[in-house]
Structure 1
């Protein structure tokens, strides 16, 4: 049984930065200390991560990026644009680009958020700690390929039937997530994100550009595709550490936020 997370004990303040294209990007921030910037996945919103972030804020400055609005028919931004959004938030939080160059900030990403974080780390030669929970990629081959048109059609005309398939992850999300309606409204986004993922398959040479330590958090009950992708990731990025999330899957941030926070904290100490 999933219990509702208690209200955060730290006051998370909403702030904004302006992305290069003029879009205002919101983020929630609390705590003091070395900053960690968090990027959520395609189905979630920043508030879904408050329970995890609240624990981290006991010893850190925690920043949760609220990724661009993706509901309804709004166009989903390409990966490169969300990387720029992340860069703008990091600059806003740290005050300058030299902090990033020194490795004075750490990064966390979940699912597609981990994709954004990793691309940013590759582009910048990131020196801080990188913590990735079930990162999404096309390391095992295209996720969508020639099925993109069919996926968009299904998400456009059969939202409830698509989301409410007998999938354990969807069932747990419906039971727990306070923003399920928003997740449902944003359903057209995942097919577009999966299309973006078809072009995200970092090579060993790409991974070598990341100068800081990388830790992968893998849910014990995450799906076989995610587990296979993690296995390939380990081969392509030598030296990466894998920490298991015992008893959890892709939505451990809902079911066991304390465990997820513990694993993030452990990763940041490596």
Structure 2
């Protein structure tokens, strides 16, 4: 593990495996770098360098914006974090973002991040339909500030993701709950990134970077709907179904093989 310095002074923890052109992997909500290690290994087996990192307020990364009033968080901070990671591993990189990480990757690409090929895995785009309330980030932050991180996690699961109540209760009563609570601040940031990207405008849709939108099977209806809608609106994009990826989880070998094939082409 190493740390790179983002533009606002946040320390971002980076893990690298393999050798070759870097493939930077951006995880989704509640994900840390460890969750993407199997995909990084699979990418390395395809002849690339697999790069994972803890997004700010997660794992071994810091968060220079936490509690700041003069320089609060905005989606641009996550774009800067990703750019700092890319610049630490090469002049440019292939980038794969999964779930909310796909939103970060898309936003960063539109803001000039040095990306050679963009892979967006099941981006949770709503295109203006059933969007969360605009004050969701503020309500999440209020819970975190009150020391109610567990309640923030539940609120994000309910309104930000749309999980059913039975699943939320199962997660809350499981050993996973403590880990998720430690990531409560990140729910605020994911909600803000989603608000900036969920109904993508011209700046996001008109990027010229070769883009592959990946979608698995038996996934959430929102995600199955969003992938083809994005490709319809994005001239640089193509849609690829990954049958091996199920229930919003990436299949590492299959996904790594698609990356290798699309980059070679």
- Under a length normalisation based on structure 1, what TM-score does the superposition of the two structures give? 0.74
C-alpha displacement of 1:112 = 1.4
| Kept in 2: contact 1:36–1:106 (CA 8 A) | yes
- 1:214 paired to 2:211: yes
Other-structure match for 1:265: 260
Other-structure match for 1:230: 227
Which residue of the other structure, out of 50, 60, 63, is the alignment partner of 2:51?
63
- 1:194 paired to 2:181: no
Which residue of the other structure, out of 107, 121, 124, is the alignment partner of 1:133?
121
Between 1:193-202 and 1:46-55, the stretch displaced more is 193-202
SS at match of 2:4: strand
Gaps of 5+ in 2: 158-163
Other-structure match for 1:43: 30
Q: Check 1:236–1:47 CA distance in 2 against 1; reply closer, same or farther (3 A cut).
A: same
Number of aligned pairs?
Answer: 239
| Kept in 2: contact 1:141–1:198 (CA 8 A) | no
Q: Check 1:62–1:180 CA distance in 2 against 1; reply closer, same or farther (3 A cut).
A: farther
C-alpha displacement of 1:195 = 3.9
C-alpha displacement of 1:180 = 6.4
- 1:144 paired to 2:129: no
Gaps of 5+ in 1: 1-13
C-alpha displacement of 1:238 = 2.1
SS at match of 1:30: strand
SS at match of 2:196: coil
Other-structure match for 2:160: none
Other-structure match for 2:89: 93
| Kept in 1: contact 2:28–2:99 (CA 8 A) | yes
**Which structure 2 residues correspond to residues 11-22 of structure 1 after superposition, within 5 A?**
14-22=1-9
Q: CA RMSD in A?
A: 3.3
C-alpha displacement of 1:29 = 0.5
| Kept in 1: contact 2:75–2:189 (CA 8 A) | no
Alpha-carbon distance in 2 for matches of 1:90, 1:166:
39
Other-structure match for 1:6: none
| Kept in 1: contact 2:25–2:96 (CA 8 A) | yes
